[in-house]
Structure 1
Amino acid sequence: MIDFEQLTRNMKGDVMTDSLHQMIYATDASAYREMPLAVVYPRDASDVKECIKFARKNGITLIPRAAGTSLAGQVVGKGVVVDVSRYMNHVLEINEKEHWVRVEPGVVLDELNMRVKSLGLFFGPETSTSNRCCLGGMVGNNSCGSHSLVYGSTRDHLLEAKVILSDGEEAWLKGMEKDEVRDKMTEDTLEGKIYKCSVEMLENNREEIIQHFPDPALRRRNSGYAIDQLLYSDYFDVAYEGKFNLCKLLAGSEGTLAFVTELKLNLVPLPPKEKAVICVHCRTLEEAFEGNLVALKHHPVAIELMDQNILELSKGNIAQNKNRFFVQGDPAAILIVELAQESREKVDQVADQIETDMKMHGYGYHFPRVYGSDISRVWSLRKAGLGLLSGMPGNAKPVSVIEDTAVAPERLPAYMKDFGEMLERLGLKCVYHAHISTGELHLRPVLNLKNENDRVLFRRVAEETARLVKKHRGSLSGEHGDGRLRGEFIPLLFGEKVYGLMQETKACWDPEGVFNARKIVNTPPMDTSLRYEAGDSNVMCRTYFDFSKEKGWLCAIEQCNGSGDCRKSYAFGGTMCPSFRATREECHTTRARANTLRELMTRPRTKKIYDQREILEVLDTCVSCKACKSECPSNVDIARFKAEFLQQHYDVCGVPMRAFLIARLTEIQRLCTILPWFYNTIVRNRMTGNMLKRVLHFAPKRTIPTLYKTTLKHWLGRYRQKNRAETVGKVFLFADEFTNYMDVEIGIKMIELLDWLGYEVIIPKHVESGRTAISKGMLKVAKGVARENVLLLKDLVTENIPLVGIEPSC
C-alpha cells in the first residue's frame, strides 16, 4: 500500500488520490485510458524533488503533464500524474535586449506572447492549441505549428533548461564548449554519467545514426529520441556553429528523461504587419498536394490544408459556421496560403504570382484573398479541425493513429498516392488536414474502436503506414510525438541497433524508470489500454432530451475528444469555461465533466447508475451557461447533459429541497410581490439573509436577488404608449420571470425602445420560461411549462406579430 499521506506532508502543493481525479486524468486527447495512482500539483522545484524521492522509494513512475492535449497517450499511465499547469506557471524573466525569456513549464503559449507583444517579440512555434497549451508540454513534444516553415520547432528555440534528474539532483542544460563537455564527463554524478554516455554513444555509432535517421532536411522529424541532433554541434564537427547542448535531446523526449522546472527560450521579432491569406479551392486532394509545391516556390510563411470533411462539419458548428465566409461551393480541399511582406503592394504582388502559377498548372478554381482581422477567422476555422472531427455523430470517429507522419514536401504526392491505395485496400475513409507545407498531413482514418474488426484495423493501418513512412524516408511523428502510440514501430523505422541506442539513452538518464515509463521506448502494444473497449455499447435508457441527432446520449458525451479548448484563458475572449477560469483546476473544465460522465455511464461504480457521487460532484460547479455548446468545436453541451443526469438522478433518489425551491423560484416570487419591501428586507438583512442562505445551502458571499417595487406586467398596464397615427406593427414581449420580477428596469427600457421605434408592445398571457427548472434538472416541470406556453402562444404569434424576448437563457 502506497502511503500518499507521507507525500502530502512533505509537499507545499496538492496531492489528490480520490477516484474523481483519477478518472479525470485517466485520458488526454488521445485514444488511450489508464487510471493513474494519484494526481499531484507541485508548487515549485522542491515539490518536484519530493515527488521524485517518493517515486523512487515506492517504485512508481511520475507522469509530467501540462494542458493534457497530447495525442499519442504521453500523459496517460499507471503512475502519479504531476500537473504543472496549476501553480508552476510564472514568467520569471524577460530579456528584451537579447530576445529571450525564462519561464516555468506551466506558462500558456498565448499568455506569454501577450506579455512580450508590446516589446515587438513573440515565441515562434505556434500550435493550434496555443490558447491553452503550456510551454513545458511544447518542449516535451517538440511542437511546431502552422508557421514552422519560418520558425521551425520548439527545439530550435530552446536555449537552456533547468531540470531535476532521476536521482533528485538539479542540472542546468545549455550549450557547452568542448572543454566544458569533457569536464562534465569526468564528474562522478548522474549528470556526468549522462554526458559521458551521450558523447561515447555518438562517437561509436555516428555513421549508423546518420544512415538510419530521417532525412535531415525534413523539417518535422520527431520520432524516437533526437540523438542525431547532438551530432550537429561543433563538438563533433567544426563545420557546425552550434555548441553541444543536451536541450536538443530534451526537446521531444516527452518527460521521459528529466523533469523540467525552468526554460530559457528564444524570442523572435513579430512578423511583418502586412499579411494576406489566399484560400485556394481545389477540386481534388491530389490537386492540393501538387498545388502545395507550386505555392512553396513563392516563399509563403505557411500553407495549411483543410479537406471536405472538416469544411462540412464546420457548417453545423455555431462558432465556426460564421468563419466559412471565404468558402465557395464544396471544394475537396482548401489550401490556406499565408503571405507576409513589408507592404500591401508586395503582398498582392506575390499573391498575384501564386494565383497565376496555380492557374497555369490547372490547380484550383477559386482564389479568394483575405486581409486584416478576417485572417484570424480563417485560422480559427483551421485550428478548430480536431474538435470539429470529434463532433462527427456516432461511434465511428476520425482517430489519432497515423495523424502525425511527415515526409519531405516533394515526396508528399507519391507518399499520398501509396497511402490512398492502402486505404482503398483496407476499405477505410480518411480525413486530411494541417501542415502540408512541411510534408505533414494529419491523416485520420474513420474507425469505431468499440468494434473488434476496427480495432484490428487500428493496428494494421499503423503498421502499414510505418512501412510507407520508411519507404519515403520520413518520420512517424512530425510534432505530436511517439508516446505509447508509435513507440512500438520505432525499431521498424530506425532498425534494431539505433533503437537499442535509444533504449540505452533512457537507461542512462533514468535507470529506475522514475519518469514517464513505457513511453517512446519499451512501450506496451499500441492497441492496449484504449479509451473504449471492444463490445462497448451505447447506454440504452429513456432520456428527456432528444439525442437522436447525436445517435444517443452516450455518443453525445463522447463527442468530447479531450482537446482541452475549455481550458483557454479569459484573456482570449469567449466564455467557456467560467468555472475553470475562476479556479484554474482541471476538475472544473468541460472536458472533466464529459470524461466523468463517459467513464461512469459505461463503467458504473454502483448498481444505481444515476446515483454516483463523482458525477454529482463534477457537475455541481457547472453554471449551465451553455458556452460550451457554441465555443467547443465538438459542440459538447454540458448544461444539457447536467440537466438530463439530474432528472434521471431525481427519478431514483428524489428531489432535494434546495433544488425544489430554486426550480420553483417563480412561484415564490409571485407570492412575494404582494409585499416586495418585506421580502427585500429579509434577504438584505445580514442575520435573516444568512439564515436563508444556510437553509438553501447558498455560499455565504452569494447575493440573493431582490424584487423590484413592481412587476413589468403591472408597469406596462400603467404605461401610456405613444399615440401614433401609424404604427410599425405589434410585438409580443415574453416577460420572463427574471425581467418581470427582478430586472424590471431592463424590461422597461426594452418597452420604451420598442415604443420609440413605433411598435405597440403587448405582453401576452404566458407562464414562466422554465429556465430555473432546467438549471436544476427538473425537466418534467420544465416540459410541462413549455407545453403550457406553446398552447397559450401558438395562436397568437404570427409572421406579422413576432414574439421577442430579453433574457438570453430563456
Structure 2
Amino acid sequence: MAMLFERLERDLRARVAGEVRFDTASRAMYATDASNYRQVPIGVVVPRSVADAVAAVTVCREHDVPLLSRGGGTSLAGQCCNAAVVIDWSKYCDTVGSVNEQDHTVVVEPGIVLDQLNARTREHGLIFGPKPATHTHCTLGGMLGNDSCGSTAQAYGKTSDNVADLEVLTYDGRRFWTSRPPPGLARELSTLTDRHADEIRRRFPDIPRRVSGYGLDALLPENGFDLTRALVGSESTLVTILRARLKLIPEPPGRCLAVIPFPTVFDAADAAAEVGRYQPIALEGIDDRLVDFERVKHLNEDFLRLLPDGGGWLIVRFGAESDEAADAQARRMAAELGLQATFFDDRRQAEEVWAIRESGLGATAWVPMAPDAWPGWEDSAVPPDQLGPYLRDLRDLQHEHGYTASLYGHFGHGCVHTRIPFDLTSKAGLDTYRSFVEQAADLVVSYGGSLSGEHGDGLARGELWPRMFGPDLMAAFAEFKALFDPRGRMSPGRLIPADRLDDHLRLGTDYRPPDPPTVFAYPQDENSFARTALRCVGVGECRREEGGVMCPSYRVTREEKHSTRGRARLLFEMLRGDVVTGGWRSPEVRDALDLCLACKGCKSDCPVEVDMATYKAEFLSHHYRGRLRPMAHYSMGWLPIWARLASLLPGLANRLAASRPLKRLAGIAAERPAPAFAKARFSDSYARRGPAGDGYRGEVVLWPDTFTDNFHPAVAVAAVRVLERAGFTVRLPRAPLCCGLTWISTGQLHTAKRVIQRTVRVLREEIRAGLPVVALEPSCTAVLRADAAELFPHDLDMARLRAQTVTLAELLDRHGVRPPRLDRPVLLQPHCHQHAVLGADADARLLRAAGAELTVLDAGCCGLAGNFGFERGHFALSMACAEYALLPALRQAPDEALILADGFSCRTQIEHAGIGRQALHLAEALKAAWRDALPAAFPERAARRPAPARRAKTPAARELRTQAMEAGGASARPPERVGAGHR
C-alpha cells in the first residue's frame, strides 16, 4: 500500500501544477471537519486551476483510489473527511466570471467564499440568495455539496433553488454541463425516475427544507427533469463539481428587524408559520437556553440587553425598497397577528440583535460548567405548521435519553438546530447516542419531515436513510449512484452505501489521549491540556477574510496550516499520536506554529475561545526544553535584560543593533530596522523628578514596561502629565519590573514565571493597598490581566494585580475625567491583545467625549506582533499582514487625522511601512491636546528600511507576490487584500 501511494504521489506531482501534499501534517489537518468524525486522508491536492483538479481526478482514476472534494471544511456531518485523496478548492480556485445582467447569472469556481462573491456581485445590485451562518468563510463548493440554506433561504430557497447549471466531472472521466447531459446518461436517468416516480412522490416530503437523500424528485417530469438540482447536495459522492452557473437576485435595499418574545420556545415555534405568511427575508427562533449560554460565555453581552423579556423569541427580518416600507411590513405583521414586537430600524442595532442568533453554534459549543455538546442531530426539519408539536416531542425525547440542549434555528422553514451533550467516549454513551438518533429519525419522519434540513447527511445520517425513504427508494438511490460512480470511488462510505453513524468517530471508546503536565494551568479546561486540544470545533471562523483580528497568517497565506483551526487540529493529533508522532518534539506542530503571530485574536474572535498564543507558548516551552533554542529567543526573548544593559551606552547599543552581522547572529530579519534605544530611560528620568501634583483623585502606580521605558519614553512622560492633570499622584514601582511578555511569547515560561513572581513580590504593598496599576503597553497589560493569572491560578496577589491593572483610558473613563478637545478625525488602531483581552470601549468613549470624529479601525493585526515581525524569515509575511487592511486604511485617511495606536508594535510597523504617517499613543494625544499643541499632520519618521525592490528579493516575499499574480493579479482583487492568492 505504501508503494502504491508513493507512485500516486509521484504521478500527481508530475501532472498537477498545484500543491500535492502527502506529508504527515497535511494528512492530520484534513482528517476531520466540524463534525464528530475523523478519517485520515491518503493525501491532499490543492489545485491552482480547474484544469489542475481535472488532472488530479484523472490520476486518481488511473490509480483507482477514492476521491473527495472539499471547500471550507465546515461540514457538521462528516462530509469533508474520508480515507481518500482530498481536493481542497479553497486556496486558489475562486474565480468569479462576469455577471450576466440579462439573466442575472454568474459562473464561479468552487473555492469562492460566499461573502467575497456577494461583495463582487453587489456592484451589479445582485447577490446569491442563500446565506448560511458561515457566510464569511464557507465556499460555494461546500454549499453546492451540502445544498446549504441559511436564514435567507426563507425568501430565496436552498442552494439547489439558486443554481442554473453545473460543470461536472465523473470519476470515469465524463465532463459536461448538467443542462446538457450525455444522451445515454439522460436516458438512463429518465428510465430510473419513471420506474420509481410514484414512490418518489410518496416518500419525498413536500417541505421547504428537505436536504436528505439524493434529489431524485428534481428529475420528475413535473419538476422539469432538472439534473442540476438533482446533483446539488450529493456531498461529493457522485461527481466533482468544476464550475457552477449561479442565479442571482436583487438585494432589497430596505431593512427592518422585529423581535417577538414568547413565554417559551415552543410558543415561538407555534407562531412561526403564521409569521412566515408575511414573507419575511428571514424568520429565526431562539430559546432562553441559547441566551443563557451566550451570557455565560460573554458573547454579545451588550446586544443581549436589546432582547425583550421572554423565554423564546422569533427574530424576523423584512426587506423592501426602503427602510420605511420594510418597517411597515413588520408592523403590519405584528398588528394583524396581535403580537408584541420590538422593532429595530437602526441598522447597527439590528445587526447586533442578529448576531445573537448567528452566534448559535459558538454559543452552544464548549459552554463552561456544562457537558460537552456535539452535532449528530443538529438540523432536522418538519413542515413549519408542525414545528411546535415536533419541538415538544423532540425535547421529551432528549429528556428520555438524559440530554438537555438548546433548541433554535430557521423556524420559518421548520428547521431546528441543536447541539446535544452526547457521551461519545463510552460504550454506554454510544449506545444511548445511537438509540436517540434512531428514535429521533422515526420521530421526524412521523411528522413528514427530513433528517437534515440544511447541513446534509454525511456519516451522521446516511445510515438512517432507509427510515425516511424505505427499501424501494434505497434501491433507486443505489442505482442513481452507480450511474455516476459505478466503482464507488467518490467519497466511499457516505450516503450509498453508508458506513455506520458511530464508525470513524474522532473520539470513541478507544479515545484516551495522554494529558501531559503543563506550565499554564488551563483552568477553563479542567486543568487539562488534552481538553484544550479538543476545544476547536472546526467551524472555521478563523478562515474568514474580513473583520476582527483572527487569523492574520491565514488571511495572507490562505493556508489551512496557518489558520487557528489547522494548528488546533495538529495539537489534537499530536496528543493522539498515531499520525503526528513525537509529542512536544513534533516538527509538524512546530512548523505550523512558526507563522502564528501570537496575536491572541482567536481568544476573542473564535466562538469557542481557542487561545493559540497561549498554546504556542506552551508548546515552545516543551519543544525546546533542554535544547538549544532559535537565536531570536535569546535576543528578543531576553529583551528586558538587553535593554537595561543598553541603557548604559545607548548610542553604542543602537549602532550594534543596526549592524547586519549582529542581526544575523541574533536571528533578526535583515530587512527590519532595529528600534532605537532612547538616550535616557523614562524610569531613570522620573526617579530624579519624582511625583508632583495635588493627587486629589488618589495614587496610581504607572507600569514602566520595557518598550515604553527604553524605546518610547515620551509616551510615559505624556502619561504622567495626563494623570497629574487629571488629579492623580503617580508613583513608579520601587525596583525595575517586567511582566514577562517576551519570555512568554518565546515559550520560556519557567523564566517568565520567575519574572512575574518577582514583580508581585515588589508590588505586594501597592497591590494589597488596592492601588490601580496603569499600564501603557497593551501586550504587557494583557499579560497582567490574563496570562499571569493563568500561570498562577491560585495566587491571590496575582488575582488582585489582575483586577487592579487598568489602561489609561479605563482609568480616566471610570473616574469621569473630562478629556481635552480633539476636534478632528481620529483613527484608532487597537492592539491585537487589547482587542482580545482588554477591549477598546473605554478608549472610544473617551475620544468621543473629546469631540473626536472617531473611526475604530477593523483592520486586524498590524503584522509586527512583538518579536514575530522581527524574526528572520517573517518579514515578508509581517508586511503582507499590514498591507491586508491597516496600511490601505491609513493611506486613505485625511491628512489632518490623528492615528492613535497604544501598541509599540503597531506604532513601529506603521513607521517601518514608510507611508508618511506616524502613530501616537493616546497619552501623547491627550497631553498635546491639553497643551493645545496638536500638530496638523504627522510627517514620516526617518525610515531605516530597504527599498521595496530589495525586500521583494526574500523568498517569502517572492512567494507571496507569485501566488498573488497566479491567482488573478491585482486587477482581479480588491486593493486591500494582499497575500497568497490575493492582491
Secondary structure of the corresponding residue to residue 386 of structure 1? helix
Deviations 1:413-436 (A, max 9, x none): 222233233223222222212111
Tell me if the contact between 1:390 and 1:559 (Cα under 8 Å) persists in the aligned partners. Answer: no
| Counterpart in the other structure of 1:205 | 196
| Counterpart in the other structure of 1:490 | 465
Q: How do 1:370-449 residues align onto structure 2 when only pairs under 5 Å count? A: 371-393=346-368, 396-449=371-424
Take 1:503 and 1:764, find their aligned partners in 2: how far apart are those partners?
76
| Counterpart in the other structure of 1:180 | none
Deviations 1:551-608 (A, max 9, x none): 2222222121100000000xx2111011111210000111111111112213366986
| Counterpart in the other structure of 2:532 | 556
Say which is worse superposed, 257-266 or 699-708, in terms of deviation.
699-708
| Counterpart in the other structure of 1:648 | 622
Q: Which amino acid aligns with 1:222?
A: V
Q: Does 1:736 align with 2:715?
A: no
Q: Which amino acid aligns with 1:230?
A: L
| Counterpart in the other structure of 1:302 | 282
Tell me if the contact between 1:193 and 1:508 (Cα under 8 Å) persists in the aligned partners. Answer: no
Say which is worse superposed, 531-540 or 496-505, in terms of deviation.
531-540
Q: Which amino acid aligns with 2:676?
A: T
Tell me if the contact between 2:297 and 2:368 (Cα under 8 Å) persists in the aligned partners. Answer: no
Q: 1:245 aligns with which of 205, 213, 226?
A: 226
Q: How do 1:263-282 residues align onto structure 2 when only pairs under 5 Å count? A: 263-278=244-259, 280-282=260-262
Root mean square deviation, CA, Å: 2.6
| Counterpart in the other structure of 2:186 | 195
Secondary structure of the corresponding residue to residue 97 of structure 2? strand
Say which is worse superposed, 706-715 or 425-434, in terms of deviation.
706-715
Q: 2:744 aligns with which of 768, 774, 779?
A: 774
| Counterpart in the other structure of 2:80 | 75
| Counterpart in the other structure of 1:187 | none
Take 2:653 and 2:477, find their aligned partners in 1: how far apart are those partners?
73
Q: Equivalent pairs: percent with the same residue?
A: 33
| Counterpart in the other structure of 2:863 | none
Deviations 1:467-497 (A, max 9, x none): 1122111111111111122111112211111
Tell me if the contact between 1:87 and 1:106 (Cα under 8 Å) persists in the aligned partners. Answer: yes
Take 2:572 and 2:635, find their aligned partners in 1: how far apart are those partners?
30
| Counterpart in the other structure of 2:213 | 224
Tell me if the contact between 1:294 and 1:357 (Cα under 8 Å) persists in the aligned partners. Answer: no
Q: Which amino acid aligns with 1:764?
A: P
Deviation at 1:275, TM superposition (A): 1.4
Structure of higher RCO (CA pairs closer than 8 Å, 6+ residues apart): 1
Q: How many residues align?
A: 773
Tell me if the contact between 2:266 and 2:312 (Cα under 8 Å) persists in the aligned partners. Answer: no
| Counterpart in the other structure of 1:465 | 440
Q: Which amino acid aligns with 2:471?
A: E
Deviations 1:728-772 (A, max 9, x none): 554322111112122334434434443444544433334112101
TM score, norm. by length of structure 2: 0.75
Deviation at 1:536, TM superposition (A): 2.9
Tell me if the contact between 1:31 and 1:73 (Cα under 8 Å) persists in the aligned partners. Answer: yes
In structure 2, the CA distance between the partners of 1:476 and 1:255, relative to structure 1 (3 Å rule), is same
Deviations 1:509-538 (A, max 9, x none): 122234222222101111011010215346
Q: Which amino acid aligns with 1:568?
A: R
Tell me if the contact between 1:433 and 1:442 (Cα under 8 Å) persists in the aligned partners. Answer: yes
Tell me if the contact between 2:573 and 2:580 (Cα under 8 Å) persists in the aligned partners. Answer: no
Deviation at 1:395, TM superposition (A): 9.1
| Counterpart in the other structure of 1:115 | 120
In structure 2, the CA distance between the partners of 1:343 and 1:464, relative to structure 1 (3 Å rule), is same
Take 1:583 and 1:493, find their aligned partners in 2: how far apart are those partners?
43
Deviations 1:636-668 (A, max 9, x none): 111112222222334465655542333211101
Deviations 1:254-297 (A, max 9, x none): 1222212222111111124231231x333323222213234224
In structure 2, the CA distance between the partners of 1:708 and 1:119, relative to structure 1 (3 Å rule), is farther
Secondary structure of the corresponding residue to residue 77 of structure 1? coil
Take 2:126 and 2:60, find their aligned partners in 1: how far apart are those partners?
40
Say which is worse superposed, 450-459 or 68-77, in terms of deviation.
450-459
Secondary structure of the corresponding residue to residue 657 of structure 2? helix
In structure 2, the CA distance between the partners of 1:394 and 1:529, relative to structure 1 (3 Å rule), is farther
Deviations 1:107-128 (A, max 9, x none): 1101111122233221110000
Q: How do 1:539-618 residues align onto structure 2 when only pairs under 5 Å count? A: 539-551=514-526, 552-569=528-545, 572-603=546-577, 609-618=583-592
Q: Which amino acid aligns with 1:123?
A: F
Gaps of 5+ in 2: 781-983
Say which is worse superposed, 703-712 or 491-500, in terms of deviation.
703-712
| Counterpart in the other structure of 1:161 | 166
Tell me if the contact between 1:770 and 1:785 (Cα under 8 Å) persists in the aligned partners. Answer: yes
Q: 1:787 aligns with which of 750, 757, 778?
A: 757
| Counterpart in the other structure of 2:272 | 292
In structure 2, the CA distance between the partners of 1:779 and 1:726, relative to structure 1 (3 Å rule), is closer
Take 1:659 and 1:604, find their aligned partners in 2: how far apart are those partners?
31
Secondary structure of the corresponding residue to residue 326 of structure 1? coil
TM score, norm. by length of structure 1: 0.90
| Counterpart in the other structure of 1:188 | none
Take 2:233 and 2:203, find their aligned partners in 1: how far apart are those partners?
18
Q: Which amino acid aligns with 1:375?
A: A
Q: Does 1:805 align with 2:770?
A: no
Say which is worse superposed, 642-651 or 261-270, in terms of deviation.
642-651
Tell me if the contact between 2:115 and 2:135 (Cα under 8 Å) persists in the aligned partners. Answer: yes
Tell me if the contact between 1:739 and 1:746 (Cα under 8 Å) persists in the aligned partners. Answer: yes
Q: 1:529 aligns with which of 494, 504, 511?
A: 504
Q: Which amino acid aligns with 1:333?
A: G
Say which is worse superposed, 253-262 or 22-31, in terms of deviation.
253-262
In structure 2, the CA distance between the partners of 1:333 and 1:550, relative to structure 1 (3 Å rule), is farther
Take 2:320 and 2:125, find their aligned partners in 1: how far apart are those partners?
16
Deviation at 1:673, TM superposition (A): 2.1
Tell me if the contact between 1:610 and 1:649 (Cα under 8 Å) persists in the aligned partners. Answer: yes
| Counterpart in the other structure of 2:293 | 313
Q: Does 1:44 align with 2:49?
A: yes
